């Protein structure tokens, strides 16, 4: 018996902030344009280089370098839509990127899992992707799903198996960050057609989108670009993410890091618009700060969490939606550090108007899955969601008649207004669970139990049998072709 | 030899948030005025009632309820200074309240301590107040001192012993939330005058201030209000803190709880202005929730929206605001809950422009002191401070020449620009300290060690010997008079 998936609860901010002044955004944009025009981008794809050359890019085929005059960039970017819809298996779960709400996803592509039963640390597999898709389907904080870990038990075709596990276990929109290369992309699009049912639905309410990482500094990945071009052709949204690292793959100053990453992203967005004007694209700038002793990418340093919301403001300056960086703790285990690092950056992303964000549920800088992390992160998410929702000052909320009735020295316990409204107050599922004998239970223990409860009780609407069989057939064909 | 002091690091906000629209603020203010006019507030103090009556408020002597017309309230509040100075023993640590700057203090009045050496849980004492004042003295995040725990080894004069312990261990401004009643407050004023050196200097740079709690719903505390009048007379800042609990002592809707708590605060602020026009008075409203299953007091519900809207309400009245941060319901530092509940707090308090804010360092809903908690809360504070700074965009930080020099596919490690800026590019808190094994250390352990380091190495600039003796003399007199009484 299928269960109903709880309604999405995106963050709908009642108020906004602007971190950068317009003049600062202009300075950053001018710097990006200067880099694109004077330094250029390394692009190791003949196909992409030809597209650039045909549309005004200055291409050096032997060095695989492209430089883009400012006017060419601005012309291409003028075609990118500011708003569009990312579809789900059921229309109620479509994500309307209209600037009013922030929709969030899990983190993705971790490589290890704390086993759901044994609690031993092990390599991640396809079952983990499926299990966490089901948990995510239940959680209202999660509006779309990133396959949260890698299906390493299917090494050659893992990205396609991750899609299969996702589509079979959540009705929500799926975004992959691992489909690389034309060959894999063609199979993925075939799978999307099975889920969408028709080309029209695929284009109007695309159930899959793709995120491609650039290579810092100032380079593109051939496979990434070529799969992105196919996705754009098929009407599926695609985004480009730069993870430039201050001091190693970018200058050791924040502004310099931002513009290096921005140039990488914008060069790819320009390519997509040249090839497929009007294609749905998004911008994702997630710079890190290098630890001077280890060289590690640190996403949540004391000043680092300002960078993701600024990335969102830069995306909007180019007139495209953003995928903002949220959560993504450097902590080794779920706990104080993971909670300390998350909330203010998420709130700022919402208040600057980010449309989408990823991701909840991993620790160790997006590498390790603790199943309960996604519950803990969801709790923080709802705190931020409520915080951003503003204050109700209607006469019912102001309750002046009630205050007058009770007067000085009274209490409000017995009043009808209290009975009606106290139920509407939201308490945490995790921190406000009474313990037998008094006090409250350990939230992390409650979170672990809740994962078990979801897995025992939540069974999302399955795909039709025919769709399941079709996905299996496509996977088999891909596996077979890969083995040959 | 006193330690070299780091300068204070208040939050300086480069961009701002407005939670409430002007219409909402007007409507909340109107609601407060209506409560004050029609429902009134109970002042169980003959002295306070007489002041109200002398100035034309409607006083019901039998029920001790005071009602006041909106024009009466607004006229009285017109003399409140929006900004004022909170002086310190060392003038370099004076806090001149101003737009866009937020000063933090510790939490206060906990009742148990995890012992600094034995790590056993025990009732708090005066020595704990001194030790934590010394630690707070060292931290640049702490702009002023709240005695963090109660000096329970000194019975009824504990509040006065707490402020002595604070002044003997810190050069910063001291704010008490426990000195109550006319007589203790007269002693506190006397102690303040010793610290300042003269009555004039005390008025100019008051080294002491007081927070007084109201009683929800719509009641004032006799000792609290009478003590506050003494401070206002002496020119020492006094603030009123309403703590409405949704569903028990306040309506179960936020706006109603805000309006009711605001009425409590404003009625007290009006009294201070009637008695001592121009007295520095601040506003503080900290709402909480009643757990519908247990009636328990919950500081952090999942829906803690507009936690800092009261700061805007204070500013709408033209008053400075004491905001509320931290105060987790978690039982221990270093837990997910301990950060999850409070991590947004300093960021939001800065974003909305609170003038002064409490407070770092306690667990179990402000009752338990783990020494290392203040360091962990300080880490969250520093995150907020950096987030509120905004971004520097100029030729040097854009580094376009360096980007040109490196080009696609290179790296920045060998660049002079990288060498020049590398040290400042990663600001390390307690989460990014590397251990001998090359791995990141456990933040709580780093915090425990930092506390030990401060205890061992920080020597606050001592109070002059004569002043120490004077404070002891005043305390001895207070012990004698108050304990006897």
Over the stretch B262-321, which tens digit does the pLDDT of each residue have? 999 999 999 999 999 999 999 999 999 888 777 778 888 888 887 889 999 999 999 999
Say if residue B485's pLDDT is above 70.
Answer: no
Say if residue B190's pLDDT is above 90.
Answer: yes
Say if residue A303's pLDDT is above 70.
Answer: no
Contact B28, B263 (CB under 8 A): no
A:344-403 residues touching chain B, CB 8 A cutoff:
344-345, 347-348, 351, 376, 379-380, 382-384, 386-394, 396-400, 402-403
Query: What pLDDT score was predicted for residue B196?
Result: 98
> Which residues of chain A form CATH 3.20.20.480?
1-390+426-484
CB neighbours of A367 closer than 8 A, spacing ≥ 6? A110, A111, A112
Mean of pLDDT values over A168-181: 97
Query: What pLDDT score was predicted for residue A377?
Result: 96
* Chain B residues inside the 8 Å CB shell of A389: 305
Say if residue A201's pLDDT is above 70.
Answer: yes
Share of chain A above pLDDT 90, in %: 85
Long-range CB contacts for residues B469-475, cutoff 8 Å, separation at least 24? B470/B194, B471/B164, B471/B167, B471/B168, B471/B191, B471/B194, B472/B164, B474/B160, B474/B187, B474/B190, B474/B191, B474/B194, B475/B157, B475/B160, B475/B161, B475/B164, B475/B187
pLDDT tens for residues A55-67?
A: 999 999 999 999 9
Does an H or E element contain B156, and which? none
Mean of pLDDT values over A403-429: 88
Mean pLDDT computed over every residue of chain B: 94
Query: What pLDDT score was predicted for residue A301?
Result: 64
Share of chain A above pLDDT 70, in %: 99
Query: What pLDDT score was predicted for residue A185?
Result: 98
Contact B324, B286 (CB under 8 A): yes
Query: What pLDDT score was predicted for residue B373?
Result: 96
Name which of A167, A208, A174, A238 is nearest A470 in CA terms. A167
Enumerate the domain spans of chain B. Answer: 11-18+78-387
Query: What pLDDT score was predicted for residue B210?
Result: 98
What ipTM did this prediction achieve? 0.90
pLDDT tens for residues B233-270?
A: 999 999 999 999 999 999 999 999 999 999 999 999 99
Mean of pLDDT values over A264-292: 94
Say if residue A292's pLDDT is above 80.
Answer: no
Does an H or E element contain B52, and which? helix B46-54
* Chain A residues inside the 8 Å CB shell of B408: 39-42, 65, 217-219
Query: What pLDDT score was predicted for residue A299?
Result: 66
Q: Does domain A1-390+426-484 have CATH number 2.60.120.920?
A: no
Taking the CB of residue B457, how many other CB atoms lie within 10 A of it? 9
Mean of pLDDT values over B437-458: 94
* Chain B residues inside the 8 Å CB shell of A400: 31, 34-35, 256, 259
pLDDT band per the 50, 70, 90 thresholds, residue A302: low
Contact assignment for A340 to B339 by CB distance below 8 Å: yes
**Annotation: CATH topology of B11-18+78-387:** TIM Barrel (3.20.20)
Contact assignment for B256 to A398 by CB distance below 8 Å: yes
Q: How many helices (H) and strands (E) does chain B have?
A: 18, 21
Say if residue A293's pLDDT is above 90.
Answer: no
Say if residue A13's pLDDT is above 70.
Answer: yes
More confident residue, A425 or A45: A45
Contact assignment for A251 to B417 by CB distance below 8 Å: yes
Contact B143, B105 (CB under 8 A): yes
Query: What pLDDT score was predicted for residue A165?
Result: 98
* Chain A residues inside the 8 Å CB shell of B253: 392, 396-399, 417, 421
Query: What pLDDT score was predicted for residue A429?
Result: 85
Phi, psi of A121 (to 5 degrees): -80, 130
Name which of B212, B115, B113, B124 is nearest B162 in CA terms. B124
Mean of pLDDT values over A208-236: 97
Query: What pLDDT score was predicted for residue B3?
Result: 65
Taking CA atoms, B22 is separated from B18, B75, B137, B253, B353, in Å, by 9, 21, 39, 20, 16
Q: Min CA distance, A474 vs chain B (Å)?
A: 37
Query: What pLDDT score was predicted for residue B427?
Result: 76
Contact assignment for B217 to A409 by CB distance below 8 Å: yes
Q: Min CA distance, B406 vs chain A (Å)?
A: 8
Mean of pLDDT values over A313-326: 97
pLDDT band per the 50, 70, 90 thresholds, residue B1: low
Contact assignment for B290 to A39 by CB distance below 8 Å: no
């Amino acid at each position: 018996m299928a269960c109903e998936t709880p309604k999405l609860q995106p963050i709908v901010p009642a108020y906004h902030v602007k971190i950068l002044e317009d003049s600062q955004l202009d300075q950053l944009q001018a710097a990006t344009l200067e880099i694109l025009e004077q330094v250029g981008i390394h692009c190791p794809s003949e196909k992409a280089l030809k597209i650039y050359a045909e549309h005004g890019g200055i291409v050096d085929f032997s060095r695989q370098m492209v430089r883009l005059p400012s006017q060419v960039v601005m012309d291409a970017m003028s075609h990118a839509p500011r708003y569009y819809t990312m579809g789900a298996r059921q229309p109620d779960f479509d994500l309307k990127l209209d600037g009013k709400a922030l929709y969030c996803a899990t983190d993705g592509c971790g490589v290890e899992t704390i086993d759901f039963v044994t609690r031993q640390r092990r390599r991640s597999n396809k079952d983990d992707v499926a299990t966490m898709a089901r948990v995510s389907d239940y959680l209202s904080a999660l509006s779309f799903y990133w396959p949260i870990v890698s299906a390493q038990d299917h090494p050659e075709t893992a990205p396609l198996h991750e899609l299969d596990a996702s589509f079979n276990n959540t009705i929500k929109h799926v975004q992959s960050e691992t489909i690389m290369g034309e060959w894999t992309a063609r199979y993925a699009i075939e799978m999307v057609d099975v889920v969408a049912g028709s080309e029209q639905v695929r284009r109007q309410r695309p159930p899959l989108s793709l995120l491609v990482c650039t290579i810092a500094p100032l380079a593109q990945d051939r496979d990434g670009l070529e799969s992105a071009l196919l996705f754009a052709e098929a009407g599926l949204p695609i985004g480009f993410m730069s993870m430039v690292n201050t001091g190693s793959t970018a200058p050791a100053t924040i502004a310099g890091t931002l513009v290096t990453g921005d140039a990488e992203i914008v060069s790819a967005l320009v390519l997509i618009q040249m090839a497929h004007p009007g294609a749905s694209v998004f911008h994702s700038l997630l710079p890190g700060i290098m630890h001077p002793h280890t060289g590690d990418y640190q996403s949540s340093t004391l000043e680092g969490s300002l960078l993701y919301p600024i990335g969102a403001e830069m995306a909007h300056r180019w007139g495209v939606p953003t995928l903002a960086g949220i959560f993504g703790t450097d902590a080794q285990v779920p706990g104080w550090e993971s909670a300390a690092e998350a909330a203010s950056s998420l709130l700022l992303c919402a208040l600057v108007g980010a449309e989408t964000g990823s991701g909840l549920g991993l620790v160790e800088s997006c590498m390790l899955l603790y199943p309960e992390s996604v519950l803990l992160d969801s709790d923080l998410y709802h705190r931020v969601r409520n915080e951003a929702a503003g204050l109700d000052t209607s006469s019912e909320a102001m309750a002046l008649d009630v205050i007058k009735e009770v007067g000085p020295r009274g209490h409000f316990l017995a009043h009808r207004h209290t009975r009606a409204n106290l139920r509407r107050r939201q308490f945490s599922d995790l921190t406000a669970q009474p313990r037998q004998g008094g006090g409250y239970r350990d939230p992390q223990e409650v979170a672990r139990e809740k994962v078990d409860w979801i897995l025992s009780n939540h069974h999302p609407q399955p795909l039709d049998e025919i769709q399941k069989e079709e996905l299996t057939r496509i996977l088999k064909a891909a596996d077979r072709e890969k083995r040959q | 030899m006193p330690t070299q002091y780091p300068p204070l690091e208040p939050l300086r906000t480069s961009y701002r948030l407005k939670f409430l629209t002007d219409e909402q603020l007007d409507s909340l203010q109107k609601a407060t005025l209506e409560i004050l006019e029609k429902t009134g507030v109970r002042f169980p103090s003959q002295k306070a009632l007489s002041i109200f009556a002398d100035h034309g408020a409607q006083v019901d002597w039998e029920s001790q309820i005071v009602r006041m017309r909106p024009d009466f309230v607004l006229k009285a509040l017109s003399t409140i200074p929006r900004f004022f100075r909170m002086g310190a023993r060392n003038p370099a640590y004076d806090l001149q309240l101003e737009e866009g700057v937020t000063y933090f203090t510790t939490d206060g009045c906990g009742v148990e301590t995890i012992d600094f050496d034995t790590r056993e849980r025990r009732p708090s004492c005066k020595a704990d107040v001194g030790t934590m004042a010394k630690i707070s003295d060292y931290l640049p995040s702490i702009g002023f001192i709240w005695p963090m725990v109660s000096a329970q080894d000194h019975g009824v004069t504990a509040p006065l012993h707490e402020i002595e312990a604070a002044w003997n261990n810190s050069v910063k401004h001291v704010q008490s939330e426990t000195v109550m009643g006319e007589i203790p407050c007269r002693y506190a004023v006397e102690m303040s005058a010793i610290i300042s050196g003269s009555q004039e200097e005390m008025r100019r740079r008051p080294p002491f201030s007081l927070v007084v709690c109201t009683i929800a719903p719509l009641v004032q505390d006799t000792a609290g209000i009478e003590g506050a009048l003494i401070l206002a007379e002496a020119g020492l800042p006094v603030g009123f803190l309403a703590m409405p609990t949704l569903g028990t002592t306040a309506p179960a809707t936020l706006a109603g709880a805000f309006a009711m708590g605001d009425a409590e605060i404003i009625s007290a602020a009006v009294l201070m202005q009637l008695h001592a026009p121009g007295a520095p008075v601040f506003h503080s409203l900290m709402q909480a929730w009643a757990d519908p299953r247990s009636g328990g007091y919950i500081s952090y519900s999942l829906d803690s929206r507009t936690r800092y809207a009261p700061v805007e309400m204070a500013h709408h009245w033209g008053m400075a605001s004491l905001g509320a941060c931290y105060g987790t319901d978690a039982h221990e530092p270093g837990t997910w809950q301990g950060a999850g509940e409070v991590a947004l707090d300093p960021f939001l308090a800065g974003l909305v422009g609170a003038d002064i804010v409490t407070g770092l360092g306690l667990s179990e809903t402000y009752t338990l002191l783990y020494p290392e908690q203040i360091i962990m809360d300080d880490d969250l504070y520093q995150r907020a401070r950096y987030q509120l700074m905004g971004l520097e965009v100029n030729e040097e930080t854009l580094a376009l020449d360096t980007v040109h020099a490196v080009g696609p596919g290179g790296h920045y490690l060998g660049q002079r620009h990288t060498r020049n800026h590398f040290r400042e590019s990663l600001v390390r808190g307690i989460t990014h300290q590397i251990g001998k094994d090359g791995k990141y250390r456990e933040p709580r352990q780093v915090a425990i060690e930092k506390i030990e380091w401060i205890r061992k190495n920080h020597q606050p600039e001592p109070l002059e010997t004569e002043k120490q003796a004077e404070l002891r003399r005043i305390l001895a007199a207070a012990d004698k008079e108050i304990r006897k009484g």
